[in-house]
């Protein structure tokens, strides 16, 4: 394999309600992070997985994941991008492709990792899985008054794993001064092209309690 997967899993996950760090919440009896790492490790191109865990949980996360797949666990940071940077620092220089994958998208299938990695291998510097937006999207002001309707045909909902040539991702992180919620955003700011590949309904992000209910049902379906 020529791919490292970096997994930011150090977030608190307050939107899910009170409890453990989000990546350690249970889905069908197992932490989200275990589901995510199992699928990443099943992708044939993946040589290495680096997880950024809450600083107090590094040892526990390593113990949790060791039976699932060989992993390196580092302490995450205050913001998601700090956690990604910490994990990226543990990826050796001879690995050419880095995929960044949120632990919260724990049902992203191995196929999706392969599709993103293959597109980077074919020469794209930055690749994101994306789906069409199904809802009508309105722009509103602070009081909730509608300012306009956005043309959704030009919009995409973006998922992870996001794939990068390793030098481009390192450069984007080094240059990113202000905060960004996805790594492709940092690459865009460098002026580089980012290309979309088809995303997966299974790569939904577990954010709110209803997402856990949906994911529980997805686990009963045949894998995509
Ligand atoms: O909170 P949100 O769903 O946007 O978090 C996305 C991912 O980033 C999650 O997997 C979370 O664990 C991770 N994260 C992190 N370090 C932070 C904040 C979020 O690794 N400081």
pLDDT 10s digits, 96-141: 999 999 999 999 999 999 999 999 999 999 999 999 999 999 999 9
Residue 41 lies in a domain: yes
Residue 138 lies in a domain: no
Determine the atom of ligand 1 nearest the C-alpha atom of 15: 1
| Residue 161 preceded by cis peptide, ω within 30 | yes
- Ligand 1, pocket-test mutation among 102, 103, 179, 182, most atoms within 8 A of CB: 102
Residue 20 lies in a domain: yes
Q: Residue 12: what pLDDT?
A: 79
Residue 119 lies in a domain: yes
Strands 138-140 and 46-53: unpaired
Residue 33 has pLDDT above 80, yes or no: yes
pLDDT 10s digits, 157-173: 999 999 999 999 999 99
Q: What angle do CA 82, 131, 81 make, to 5 degrees?
A: 5
Residue 76 has pLDDT above 90, yes or no: yes
Cα separation, 93 vs 85, in Å, equals 14
Q: How many domains does the chain have?
A: 1
CA of 16 to the centre of ligand 1 (A): 12
Distance, C-alpha 213 to centroid of its chain:
20
Determine the atom of ligand 1 nearest the C-alpha atom of 77: 21
- Ligand 1, pocket-test mutation among 7, 11, 108, 185, most atoms within 8 A of CB: 11
Q: Residue 41: what pLDDT?
A: 98
Cα separation, 77 vs 206, in Å, equals 20
Determine the atom of ligand 1 nearest the C-alpha atom of 205: 3
Residues with Cβ within 6 A of ligand 1? Answer: 8-11, 22-23, 52, 76-80, 83, 102-104, 205, 207
Domain residue limits at 15: 3-126+160-166+201-218
Where are the strands (E) in the chain, listed by range?
Answer: 3-8, 26-27, 30-31, 46-53, 72-75, 97-100, 126-132, 138-140, 146-149, 156-158, 162-165, 195-198
- Give this complex's ipTM: 0.93
Q: Residue 179: what pLDDT?
A: 73
Residue 39 lies in a domain: yes
Q: Phi, psi at residue 49, to the nearest 5°?
A: -125, 125
% of the chain at pLDDT higher than 70 = 98
- Ligand 1, pocket-test mutation among 8, 40, 58, 203, most atoms within 8 A of CB: 8
pLDDT 10s digits, 203-220: 999 999 999 999 999 999
Residue 177 token pair? 């001064």
Q: Residue 180: what pLDDT?
A: 75
Residue 150 lies in a domain: no
Instruction: List the single range of 17-26, 31-40, 70-79, 191-200 with lowest mean pLDDT.
Output: 17-26
Residue 15 has pLDDT above 90, yes or no: no
Residue 223 lies in a domain: no
Residue 97 lies in a domain: yes
Q: Residue 47: what pLDDT?
A: 98
Q: What is the CATH number of the domain that holds 21?
A: 3.90.550.10
């Amino acid at each position: 394999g020529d791919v490292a997967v970096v997994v930011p899993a150090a977030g608190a996950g307050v939107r899910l309600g009170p409890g453990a760090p989000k990546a350690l919440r249970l889905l069908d009896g197992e932490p989200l992070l275990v589901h995510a790492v199992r699928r990443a490790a099943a992708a044939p191109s993946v040589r290495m997985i680096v997880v950024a865990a809450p600083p107090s949980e590094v040892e526990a996360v390593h113990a949790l994941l060791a039976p699932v797949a060989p992993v390196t666990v580092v302490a995450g940071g205050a913001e998601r991008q700090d956690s990604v940077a910490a994990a990226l620092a543990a990826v050796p220089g001879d690995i050419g492709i880095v995929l960044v994958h949120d632990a919260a998208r724990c049902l992203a299938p191995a196929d999706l990792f392969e599709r993103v990695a293959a597109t980077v291998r074919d020469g794209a510097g930055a690749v994101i899985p994306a789906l069409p937006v199904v809802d009508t999207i309105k722009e509103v002001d602070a009081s909730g008054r509608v300012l306009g309707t956005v043309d959704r045909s030009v919009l995409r909902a973006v998922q992870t794993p996001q794939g990068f040539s390793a030098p481009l991702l390192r450069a984007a992180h080094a240059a990113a001064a202000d905060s960004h919620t996805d790594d492709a955003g940092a690459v865009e700011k460098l002026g580089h092209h980012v290309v979309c590949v088809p995303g997966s309904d299974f790569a939904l992000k577990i954010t709110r309690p209803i997402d856990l209910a949906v994911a529980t049902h997805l686990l009963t379906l045949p894998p995509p």
